[in-house]
Structure 1
Amino acid sequence: MEENKHIVRRGIYILPNLFTTASLFTGFMAIIWASNGKFEWSAMGILFSALMDGLDGKVARLTGTSSEFGVQYDSLADLVAFGVAPGFMVYAWMIDAFGRTGAAMAFLFATCGALRLARFNVAAASGASKKFFIGLPIPAAGCTLAALVFFVPYLPTMLQGLVPGFCLLLTGLLGVLMVSRVRYYSFKEYGFLRTHRYRSMVTAILLFSMIMAEPRLFGFLLFFIYIIVGLVYTFILLPKKTPLPFTQ
């Protein structure tokens, strides 16, 4: 009986790591698909990795199986799924036309993602506030590039020629934002949602309706809005609240 309990417990311990492995697998496949020119498949792989990444931590907390091993494994999976895979995808898809500059920008994106993950792990270990992320989270950066693949076909023909340059600049900007001090709401503390339940519910319904109506169009726009909101909060709203520079 005790042996059966041990087996069940071990299975529960492995469960969140299976979600992490699924995230790593689809991130790896995103690289394979991009190398074969299947960019929409690659983008879908990255977005699916984000779904798995969102579930592994929740499963670990629900089952009481959070561990330092899981934290480190999750970071390594995130680096592949949201750093290396999107960087390679956007290079093969659009910015390879810029030669070494395109390769350098893709590498910058992946490197900044690695630095972002390292800083996040250090901050989490020190007990930093969970209300805001300091710097754009790497899953958001990777998913922005993935969502862009589906958004580009909606652009007018006259703007299609500007897409490679826009992708180059966006890739660099996302890399810089990941290692910046810009604050992004984490959605891990729900004080605002509890005190503004009606507005939160209406907003959630609107967002859900938009995504269901045109996921290819509104996916990128929502990620882009999230990026802009962080910049507005950090450089416009936050200085009005306190003139002192914030620290992590």
Structure 2
Amino acid sequence: MKKKLAWIPNTLTLGNLTLGFAAMLVASEITKNDPSAIRYYSLSGFLIILAALFDGFDGMAARALDATTELGADLDSLADLTTFGIAPGFLMYKMVFEDFKIDLFNQTDLFPVGMLIAALFPICAAYRLARFNVASDPHSFTGLPSPVAGVIVGIFPMATKVIPVPAFLAIAMFVLVAVLMVSTIRYSKPQVAIRGKFTWGKLAIVITGLLLLVYQIGAERWPWVLYGVIFFYVFSGIVSFLIYTIQELKV
């Protein structure tokens, strides 16, 4: 029975991968000086955010159906690398880094610095996922989870429609998020708290309430609200790490 039902979470995982691939295809269609470019960038980012929902529900479905398998776990890592490693790197390359080139050996734009910056994200995501597969803690994450990192990049084009962000700040954010993925900072697992305190009915009520809140906030401002929630999660791990480090130094 366990193997027969495994197709359900695996299908959600493949949906995650498909959305990540679609995000790259959408971003690849954008040309320079396209007046509608920001719409396509936003669509690409939205597909990454939507994929994060699939990524969350596949694990929930596997546990609810008692259909967790090694195949499903490996498939999830491959999908996460595509959607939350490669796709965000490609999106930011097309949106920000594509023009970052330097002249070399008297050749114009020979060295693509932007490609190297963009490649940092899939590199860090791959290392983080490999480390997770080898050794993982059931109660916390080591390093920023790749879906959270991918969503941070996915929100970026929608957020910049409201408040433009200079290129140097975009690079700093991108590099910082990538480094946090491979850091040893501990982050809590929200799904552990959800499983312990929420039934499916309560979870549905919370999701409905969040959707209504987003509707009241408005389509233009909700990306920044979501950024606020995510950054609180990101910095909570950093603050906890600093407190732990200071306590260790005192001892």
Q: TM-score range by the shorter chain?
A: 0.7 to 0.9
RMSD, aligned α-carbons: 2.6
Name the structure 1 match of 2:119.
107
Name the structure 1 match of 2:154.
146
Amino acid at match of 1:50: A
Following superposition, the deviation at residue 222 of structure 1 comes to 1.9
219, 222, 235: which one pairs with 2:242? Answer: 235
Task: Provide the TM-score with structure 2 as the length reference.
Answer: 0.78
Amino acid at match of 1:63: L
Name the structure 1 match of 2:224.
217
Counterpart-to-counterpart distance in 2, 1:42 and 1:48:
10
Amino acid at match of 2:85: G
The answer (yes or no) to whether the contact 1:136–1:179 under 8 Å persists in 2 is yes
The answer (yes or no) to whether the contact 1:33–1:41 under 8 Å persists in 2 is yes
Following superposition, the deviation at residue 210 of structure 1 comes to 5.3
Q: 1 or 2, which has the higher helix percentage?
A: 1
Task: Provide the TM-score with structure 1 as the length reference.
Answer: 0.79
The answer (yes or no) to whether the contact 1:46–1:81 under 8 Å persists in 2 is yes
Following superposition, the deviation at residue 189 of structure 1 comes to 3.3
Structure 1 residue 183 corresponds to structure 2 residue 191? no
Name the structure 1 match of 2:64.
62
Counterpart-to-counterpart distance in 2, 1:135 and 1:171:
15
Following superposition, the deviation at residue 11 of structure 1 comes to 4.8
The answer (yes or no) to whether the contact 1:210–1:218 under 8 Å persists in 2 is no
Identity score, percent: 33
Name the structure 2 match of 1:14.
7
Amino acid at match of 2:242: F
Counterpart-to-counterpart distance in 1, 2:230 and 2:71:
30
Name the structure 2 match of 1:171.
174
Unaligned runs of 5+ in 2: 31-39, 102-111, 198-205
Unaligned runs of 5+ in 1: 1-5, 195-202
Structure 1 residue 97 corresponds to structure 2 residue 74? no
Following superposition, the deviation at residue 244 of structure 1 comes to 6.9
Amino acid at match of 1:190: A
Counterpart-to-counterpart distance in 2, 1:180 and 1:25:
28
For these two proteins, the number of residue pairs brought into alignment is 218
Following superposition, the deviation at residue 121 of structure 1 comes to 1.0
Deviations 1:83-118 (A, max 9, x none): 000000011011222232221111011100000001
Amino acid at match of 1:182: I
82, 85, 101: which one pairs with 2:84? Answer: 82
